[in-house]
Amino acid sequence: MRISAGILKGRLVLAPEGRDVRPTSAKVRESIFDTLQGEVKGCRFLDLFAGSGAVGIEAYSRGAGEVYFCERNRDVLPLLKQNVTLLKGAGRVFEGDAFALMERLPGGFDVIFADPPYKDDCLERLCAVIERRGLLSKGGVLVYEHSSDLDVTAPKGYRIAKSKRYGSACVEYVMRGSICAATGSFDPMTRGHAEVVRRAGEMFDKVVVLIAVNDEKPSAFPLEVRKEIAEKATADMENVSVDICEGYVYKYCVKHGIRTIVRGLRSESERGYEQYMADYNRKKGGIDTVILPVPGMENVSSTALREALKRGDDNALERLCAPGTADIIKKKFGELAVGGNYD
C-alpha cells in the first residue's frame, strides 16, 4: 500500500498478510480524507484497530498534528511500529485491546477512525466509551468503517452526519450533538416552512430538512427540484442540511440517530393530524415530535404558492416564498411548464 496524498505521497506502507487482517482499501482511504477535508489539518487523530496504520499515516501525511495508533495483534505490531517511523515522532503506538486502551487514553481527539475486526456492530459500545472518557473533541468526528451487511444506527446523543458505501464496506461519519428532522413534502418550501426550520435551528445543534415522499399526494415539483429550492431557502442557516427520504420517515430517523421531528402548526385545525403522526412515529421508532405554532402563517402554504405561480401573481409570491427563493421557484416552474411536466 502507498500513501495517496500529502507530504508522504507515494511512500510505501507495509501491509500485514492473512485472513484476519483487513486493511482499509486505498479507494476508501482516499474517499475518507476527501470527505474530512479541513478537519485533518493540525488535528489530533486516533487510529483504533490500526493494523498497518495506513489510515493514521495518511492522516499525518495530510496535515494531522499528532496520531495515536492502537493495535493488539502481536504479529502485526512490529510492522505497525516500523510504518509509524515515517511520522518522525508525531505518532505513538499503544499495544493492547482498543476498548481497554480507550479507558486510559487522553481525551480531545478531533478525528477517531475505527475499523473493528468484528462481525457484529460495535458502534454503540464505541460511543459509550468515547462519551464516558471525553475522547472526542467538540465538533469532532468518529469515522466508523464496517461491513455493508450490518444495519448500523447511531446511539442516543450521536448522529450519523454522512454515510458512504463502497461494495462490501460502509463508512459512517458519526458526531455528537442534538439533532432533529424538519419533515414535509416541501412542494415547494414556503416562508412558513423556512420559519419553522429557523426556529428548529435555534433549539438543536443540527437540523435536517427531510423531504418526504407521499405516494398518496401527487407532487408538483420533482424531488431534486424541491431539494434545490430548500437548500436555497436555508443557505444562510449554518446548522441546516437538506436530504430526501423515499421510505418511512421514522426509519430514516432511527438510522441517522435523529430522536426528534419538528413540525409547524399553521392553525388548530391541523393539530389532529399532527398528533396522529406524532403518535405513529413514537410507536414505530421511538421518535418524539415537537410541534411549533407559526403565528401569521395561516394562509401560507405550498398549495397557495403553486396557485400564485399559475396566476403569475408576483406580489403573492413574495409573501409566500421563503426569502430569496422566488426567482428560482419561478424559473423551475417555467421549465416544468415548458416541458409539459406541470399540471
Render pLDDT for 214-230 as a digit per residue (tens, 0 to 9).
777 788 999 999 999 99
**Quick one: pLDDT at residue 18?**
61
Q: What CATH architecture applies to the domain 26-176?
A: 3-Layer(aba) Sandwich (3.40)
| Confidence band of 231 (pLDDT split at 50, 70, 90) | very high
Percent of the chain whose predicted confidence (pLDDT) is above 70: 96
| Confidence band of 23 (pLDDT split at 50, 70, 90) | confident
* Same fold yes or no, 26-176 and 179-338: yes
Residue 288 in this model has a pLDDT that exceeds 50:
yes
| Confidence band of 340 (pLDDT split at 50, 70, 90) | very low
Residue 230: closest CA among 107, 110, 136, 323? 323
| Confidence band of 159 (pLDDT split at 50, 70, 90) | confident
- Evaluate whether the domain defined by 179-338 bears CATH number 3.40.50.620: yes
**Quick one: pLDDT at residue 15?**
83
- Give the chain's end-to-end CA distance (angstroms, integer): 56
**Quick one: pLDDT at residue 21?**
59
Percent of the chain whose predicted confidence (pLDDT) is above 90: 76
Predicted model pTM = 0.65
- In this prediction, residues 260-264 reach a mean pLDDT of 96
β-pair type (169-176, 179-184): unpaired
**Quick one: pLDDT at residue 20?**
57
| Cell numbers given for 31 | 474517499
**Quick one: pLDDT at residue 124?**
93
- In this prediction, residues 117-140 reach a mean pLDDT of 90
Q: d(Cα 30, Cα 38) in Å, to the nearest integer?
A: 14
What integer best gives the mean pLDDT of the chain?
91
Residue 180 in this model has a pLDDT that exceeds 90:
yes
| Confidence band of 257 (pLDDT split at 50, 70, 90) | confident
Going 27 to 33 to 37 to 42, the CA torsion angle's sign is: negative
**Quick one: pLDDT at residue 338?**
53
Total Cβ atoms within 10 A of residue 139: 11
Rounded (5°) CA angle 76-80-83: 145
| Cell numbers given for 81 | 511500529
**Quick one: pLDDT at residue 79?**
93
| Confidence band of 119 (pLDDT split at 50, 70, 90) | confident
For the ranges 149-153, 213-217, 335-339, the maximum mean pLDDT occurs at 149-153
**Quick one: pLDDT at residue 22?**
65
Residue 148 in this model has a pLDDT that exceeds 70:
yes
Q: Which of 28-37, 152-161, 242-251 has the lowest mean pLDDT?
A: 152-161
Rounded (5°) CA angle 258-264-268: 135
Q: d(Cα 154, Cα 126) in Å, to the nearest integer?
A: 11
Residue 121 in this model has a pLDDT that exceeds 70:
yes
Residue 341 in this model has a pLDDT that exceeds 60:
no
Q: d(Cα 58, Cα 6) in Å, to the nearest integer?
A: 8
Domain boundaries, the chain: 26-176, 179-338
| Cell numbers given for 269 | 385545525
Residue 161: closest CA among 152, 174, 150, 147? 174
- In this prediction, residues 15-40 reach a mean pLDDT of 82
Rounded (5°) CA angle 226-230-233: 140
